[in-house]
Amino acid sequence: MTILPREFFAQPTLTVAQNLLGQHLVRAVEGQHLRGRIVETEAYLGPEDTACHASKGRTPRTEVMFGPPGRTYVYLIYGLHYMLNLVTEVESFPAAVLIRAIEPLAGLDLMRQHRQRQPSQTMPLRQIGNGPGKLCQALRIDKSLNGWDVTTGQTLWLEAVEPLPKMAIASGPRLGIDYAQAADRAAPWRFWQRDNPFISK
DNA sequence: CAGACGATTGCCT
DNA sequence: GGCAATCGTCTGT
């Protein structure tokens, strides 16, 4: 078992976004390891990318993206949902990869418990982590984990798996960024594992 | 300090 | 397909 090191994240963001597909995201909570395979990501490419929060400048919220790679950027959206990003590139270049979906592998009961609204029925496996807000809820990720260093192997980290072959990776425009300029809206910077049933949408 | 709004989700018709 | 939920962050007064 190898924990993804800082060098993995200190690369071009489009490279990291594709290489993250298939890797295991692990969250330690209540003495358990909740584990999911990353199956969908989106790249946010820094100050020139008008879809990237950091294009608006350096603010308290975007500060962590200006820091070293290998840390989390976690923020609240719509007052309801947390989003998990991993900071990429060299320090002071503000870019990150949004984790959009995971395929649950271990700790399923606790993940379901985190996601459950009515405890009466069992949530289908597909719906546990097939969206950026859903996977944060399943893994109990909130603002307290913003800025977390994922290379320490504690609390939240990534474990290395063989990267997917290029053939297995599909790409398309990013979602929910109507506020961005046309060219940025159209850029195919969302990546997912082809034919995987656990992607969002 | 008021106002606008968002890298979404789930429920309703 | 439409739309409400719900609040931190940012902007402009």
pLDDT tens string A20-77: 999 999 999 999 999 999 999 999 999 999 999 999 999 999 999 999 999 999 999 9
pLDDT at A118: 72
Q: A98: which nucleotide lies closest, measuring CA to C1'?
A: B7
Q: A146: which nucleotide lies closest, measuring CA to C1'?
A: C8
A194 touches strand C (CB under 7 A): no
pLDDT at A121: 77
A78 touches strand C (CB under 7 A): yes
- Note the strand C nucleotides within 7 A of protein beta carbons: 5-11
C-alpha torsion sign, points A45, A51, A54, A60: negative
Domains of chain A, each with CATH number or no CATH: 6-161 (3.10.300.10)
Q: A99: which nucleotide lies closest, measuring CA to C1'?
A: B7
pLDDT at A119: 67
Q: How far apart are CA A74 and CA A71, in angstroms?
A: 10
Q: A175: which nucleotide lies closest, measuring CA to C1'?
A: B7
Residue nearest to nucleotide C11 (CA to C1'): A56
pLDDT at A6: 98
**Pairing assessment for the beta strands A190-193 and A169-172 based on DSSP bridges:** antiparallel
CB A156 within 8 A of CB A145: yes
Tens of pLDDT, residue by residue, chain A (201 residues)? 899 999 999 999 999 999 999 999 999 999 999 999 999 999 999 999 999 999 999 999 999 999 999 999 999 999 999 999 999 999 999 999 999 999 999 999 999 999 988 766 789 999 999 999 999 999 999 999 999 999 999 999 999 999 899 999 999 999 999 999 999 999 999 999 999 999 998
